[in-house]
C-alpha cells in the first residue's frame, strides 16, 4: 500500500515538474549555432549559447578550429571590465545618474559573458589538450597558435595563480596548459614549430612567474639568444633591474651555466 502511494506521488511529481512540461532542443548544426550567436541580444541567451557550443558533436577539424577561435575571441578581457566598456564612464556607478549605472551593468554583463567563454575553453580546450602529444598538435596549427599568442600577449588575459590564495579552477587548467606549452620550446627535438615561438614562451613564463622551469629543461637547448630575450623582457640594463626576483635569479643561473659550457668547449 505504501509502495503504491509512493509510486503515485512520484508520478505526480514528475508530471508537475516544469521541466517535464515542455520540449527542449539544441542547435542541430554548428552553422545554426553560429547564426544564433551572431544575433543574440539578451545576455543570458548569449551565455546559454556559449554553454551549448561545445556540446555540438561531429565537427570537422576546420570547424573545431573555427569554434575555438570564436570562443577565444569572446573570452578576451575575461578578467577586466575596462576593455568591455562602451563609454569612458561605464565603470562609474552613480546613484545620481542612471545613464552611468546602465553602462556599469552592461560592462559587468559583458564580463560575465567573456568569463563564460573562458570557462568553456578551460573545460573543453585547455583541459582536453593537457597531454604533451596533444599540445604538440596545437603548436603545429598556425591558426590556433597565432590566436593563442594574440590572446595571451595581453597580460590581463594571463591566469593569475598565487600560492595560498583561492583561484578559479579553469584558471588553473589554463595555467597548467601554458606551462606545458611553453616547455616545448626546449624539449630537445629542435623542431622549427617550437623554436619560432620561443620569444612568446619566455614572455609567458616570466608573466606566470615560472621562468624557473627553464632550469629543468635540457640545458643544451638553452641558447645565448634565449638569455638575451629573457634579459630584454625583464627590462634589464646596467642602470636598471626589473622583473621578478625569481626570473632574474633564473637568468643569472642560465648565464652562469652557459659560460661554463663555453669554457669546457675551449
Average of per-residue pLDDT across 12-37: 81
Q: Predicted confidence band at 70 (pLDDT cuts at 50, 70, 90)?
A: very high
Residue 102 · residue 89 · CB < 8 Å: no
- Is the per-residue pLDDT at 254 higher than 80? no
Write the DSSP symbol of residue 131.
S
Which of the given ranges, 5-14, 85-94, 152-161, has the highest pLDDT on average?
A: 152-161
Q: Predicted confidence band at 99 (pLDDT cuts at 50, 70, 90)?
A: very low
Q: Predicted confidence band at 100 (pLDDT cuts at 50, 70, 90)?
A: very low
Cβ neighbours for 63, distance < 8 A, ≥ 6 positions apart:
30
Residue 81 φ/ψ, nearest 5 degrees = -70, -30
- Where does the chain have alpha helices with state H? 2-16, 30-39, 43-52, 61-75, 98-121, 132-139, 142-152, 169-183, 192-195, 198-207, 224-233, 245-265
pLDDT score at 238: 37
Radius of gyration of the chain (CA): 24
CA pair distance 163, 166, nearest whole angstrom: 8
CA pair distance 151, 121, nearest whole angstrom: 13
**Of residues 74 and 104, which shows the higher confidence score?**
74
Mean of per-residue pLDDT scores for the chain: 80
18-27, 74-83, 110-119, 227-236, range with the lowest pLDDT:
18-27
Structure confidence by residue, pLDDT tens digits, 204-237: 998 888 888 888 877 777 888 888 888 888 765 4
Amino acid at each position: 500500500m505504501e509502495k503504491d502511494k509512493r509510486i503515485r506521488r512520484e508520478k505526480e511529481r514528475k508530471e508537475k515538474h516544469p521541466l517535464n512540461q515542455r520540449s527542449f532542443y539544441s542547435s542541430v548544426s554548428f552553422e545554426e549555432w553560429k547564426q544564433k550567436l551572431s544575433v543574440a541580444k539578451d545576455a543570458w541567451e548569449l551565455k546559454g549559447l556559449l554553454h551549448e557550443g561545445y556540446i555540438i558533436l561531429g565537427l570537422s577539424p576546420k570547424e573545431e578550429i573555427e569554434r575555438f577561435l570564436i570562443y577565444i575571441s569572446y573570452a578576451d578581457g575575461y578578467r577586466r571590465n575596462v576593455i568591455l566598456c562602451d563609454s569612458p564612464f561605464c565603470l562609474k556607478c552613480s546613484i545620481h545618474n542612471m545613464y552611468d549605472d546602465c553602462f556599469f551593468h552592461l560592462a559587468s554583463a559583458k564580463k560575465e559573458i567573456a568569463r563564460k567563454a573562458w570557462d568553456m575553453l578551460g573545460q573543453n580546450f585547455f583541459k582536453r589538450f593537457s597531454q604533451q602529444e596533444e599540445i604538440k598538435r596545437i603548436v603545429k596549427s598556425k591558426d590556433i597558435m597565432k590566436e593563442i599568442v594574440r590572446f595571451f600577449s595581453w597580460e590581463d588575459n594571463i591566469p593569475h595563480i598565487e600560492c595560498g590564495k583561492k583561484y578559479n579552477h579553469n584558471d588553473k587548467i589554463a595555467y597548467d596548459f601554458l606551462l606545458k606549452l611553453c616547455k616545448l620550446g626546449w624539449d630537445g627535438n629542435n623542431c622549427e614549430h617550437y623554436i619560432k615561438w620561443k620569444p612568446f614562451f619566455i614572455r609567458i613564463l616570466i608573466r606566470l612567474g615560472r621562468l624557473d622551469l627553464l632550469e629543468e629543461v635540457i640545458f643544451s637547448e638553452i641558447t645565448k639568444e634565449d638569455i638575451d630575450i629573457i634579459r630584454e623582457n625583464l627590462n634589464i640594463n646596467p642602470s636598471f633591474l626589473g622583473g621578478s626576483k625569481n626570473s632574474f635569479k633564473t637568468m643569472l643561473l642560465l648565464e652562469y651555466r652557459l659560460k661554463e659550457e663555453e669554457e669546457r668547449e675551449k
